[in-house]
Amino acid sequence: MVIRVREINDEEGIKLRRIVRHHPGAIEVKRAQVILAFVQGFTPPKTPSSPG
């Protein structure tokens, strides 16, 4: 799976941070957290493609 991330502008960043702080929906909050983490340079841990 390839994930492409683009830079976000200030307005988008503000909107995402607002979602994280004030949105009642858990899914939307988690998505906003993931996007903000990627923008800050965090990447998902690498996992083996097949077990054992």
H or E, element range at 51: none
> Which residues, in sequence order, are CB contacts of 13 under 8 Å at separation 6+?
36, 39
What's the pLDDT score for residue 3?
A: 66
Per-residue pLDDT at 12 exceeds 90: yes
The pTM score is: 0.70
Per-residue pLDDT at 50 exceeds 80: no
pLDDT grade for 51, boundaries at 50, 70 and 90: low
Measured between alpha carbons, how far is residue 1 from residues 18, 26, 40, 49 in Å?
29, 24, 20, 11
